[in-house]
A and B are shown apart, each in its own frame.
Chain A
């Protein structure tokens, strides 16, 4: 594919253009380059207007198309993408090629070939295989009857006129039609028959002869010959759709309103797909792309988010059933003396769930139910109490991950709309203000694309984190460390892209400071990219680096301060043995992760010797 080659060349050119002060060892720039494959757009004259308009819209910032595509971060290997994005025209082309091939090999009409292909998932080799194994079985199942020469002469009035079985009127035989059987009907009845079927939806593609005893299939030839323009358009549309919908190798892009289809190349290993509309999705589960997290995790997570079970967990954790009527009661304030709402009105003790009437001097007074305390001391911890406690913990844990997952999703959506805004108005404004060509501003687009991609990855790492087994503490620590680092880098990048650009848009910042801004943002983009690459790599090998748990905790690499102080700062990597000092001169204690100032060797928090 020529255009693809061109793009790859252009891409490698753009990655060398000096905006990457930090294009360092960690990431092989080759692998990081993104790979997109376009369906020979350059050669495609038949591309429809909508699509052109769309492309223009998406490539707002000028004619430098490749910049956008190469700027988009993707962790997919670039060589030989295992899939192709298909436009409607490309689908039709492929369909035609398949039909042509089957028709010529089996010596049948194109309409028949189309019917057979539809029944065999548009797979030419399968058609050939089955046809030559048992032709009559294939014919039977598709409804292809070998045509007898003469129409049946029942209802004959004149040798040249027969009765149409639908309108019951006589017509001249040569004006009548039959599919591949000998049941002739008049043109207007056929038209109405086909029209009704087309209005009923894609089922019209499996239309059979109107005679209820006949299995003959009605092919596209006959239908397209008979029906009106509007119906033809619909029918053709259904045929095109069938190529994707009845084909295991193809899928529609699940983005709302997107009309591209994706077809995978046989033999390829397909995971994440990036449609030409910009939507990123997982081939296997059609959910939004979630690499490096696995489909099962995503499915569980999505189910969990939607599941009623979380409500149940909340009720379990925060309420107790009334001992008499069993309705759940939430105790928000007040004393332990609970009176259930009418009609129950049962009075009981919140702690022991015993009747309030039994509470008195004997049991230690109204306000201190000793029974519960006594039970607890004896170790007779109530089973339901324990369950309630566990449910509460698990709910808190879930809420922790869910909040982070959801807020990253929000940030991603915001970043996408900011990117659009940037492309629509801000780029031009900046270009005018600082008298720079559009091509010099693509670092902004790259930064935003990186933000969007990173938000997506980060979001799914929270689903992963939720399901990471509690007992794999080392893995968890390492994962959280990587996640924390990546998140910090991303926050810095996002803040820079969001806030600092404002000064250059509205303020009187000079060209000199703009150059600084550019260097900073491009640098942050690159750094963030590296952190995320490391995170993704670690996921992909199943956090294999921490398998050897004895090697862990020998070294402290770095910790993260501020928002992400969750990170436990331990890693198996033993190359950077010394403590890490950040740009503000803090060093992090390897025992308690406290950010110390100064040059002492003892942590001022835990007072343990830390310097090596």
Chain B
């Protein structure tokens, strides 16, 4: 059962283990290399600092020619993250390239946390608050950071 996508995912996994980028971790679920669990740590010195946000990545046999479906399991409050946890990010849609690997995906999502794009809002309340009332926005972010420690 070694298809090109599975082989490639094994390589992605090895790379994450041997040379993990700061603030992210990820691993396939037991017995299923096509479904991964990952954690993104909130970047230091930002409102996201200290948060541990869980995600799942669902791959298909088209990987790496097609991106995985990435979704936050932890509750989020972010202009580009939908209520169901799915993410509005260009490289996960039309700007995808087979060059990207799991590490690149998770790093991009991590940087999206502090650098949202309020022009294509997935959560309009968060987008409005981000542009109009940054204090309140930061307070809401702190809320989800604290929830990320306790939520199952």
Contacts and interface: CB of A to CB of B under 8 A. Distances in A.
A517 to B, nearest CB: 67
A195 B8 CA distance: 18
Contact of A192 (B4, B97, B99, B101): B4
B66 interface: yes
Contacts of A195: 65
A166 B100 CA distance: 8
Interface string B56-70: 000000101110000
A18 interface: no
22 contacts: A167-B4, A167-B11, A168-B8, A168-B11, A168-B15, A168-B101, A169-B11, A188-B4, A189-B4, A192-B4, A192-B65, A193-B65, A195-B65, A196-B65, A210-B98, A210-B99, A211-B97, A212-B91, A212-B95, A212-B97, A212-B99, A212-B100
A45 B100 CA distance: 49
B39 to A, nearest CB: 23
B134 interface: no
Interface residues of A, number: 14
Contacts of A168: 8, 11, 15, 101
Interface in B72-109: 91, 95, 97-101
The 10 closest A-B pairs by CB, nearest first: A196-B65, A212-B97, A166-B98, A168-B11, A165-B99, A210-B98, A192-B65, A193-B65, A167-B8, A210-B97
B7 interface: yes
A84 B101 CA distance: 51
B72 to A, nearest CB: 24
Contacts of B65: 192-193, 195-196
Kindly name the residue among A166, A169, A188, A210 whose own CB sees the greatest number of chain B CB atoms within 10 A. A166
A167 B2 CA distance: 13
A229 B65 CA distance: 20
Interface of B: 4, 7-8, 11, 15, 62, 64-66, 91, 95, 97-101
Interface of A: 165-169, 188-189, 192-193, 195-196, 210-212
Contacts of B7: 167
Nearest to B94: A203
B95 A196 contact: no
B144 to A, nearest CB: 30
Nearest to A183: B99
A189 B4 CA distance: 9
A169 B15 CA distance: 13
Nearest to A192: B65
Contacts of B99: 165-166, 210-212
A314 B107 CA distance: 61
Contacts of A211: 97, 99
B111 to A, nearest CB: 15
A90 to B, nearest CB: 35
A189 B101 CA distance: 14
Given A188-B4, A192-B4, A212-B100, A166 B95 contact: no
Nearest to A166: B98
A188 B7 CA distance: 13
Contacts of A193: 65, 98
Contacts of B11: 167-169
A212 B95 CA distance: 8
Contacts of B101: 168
Contacts of B4: 167, 188-189, 192
Given A167-B4, A211-B97, 10 more contacts: A165-B99, A167-B11, A168-B11, A188-B4, A189-B98, A192-B4, A196-B65, A210-B98, A212-B95, A212-B99
B62 A196 contact: yes
Given A167-B4, A167-B7, A168-B11, A196 B100 contact: no
A214 to B, nearest CB: 9
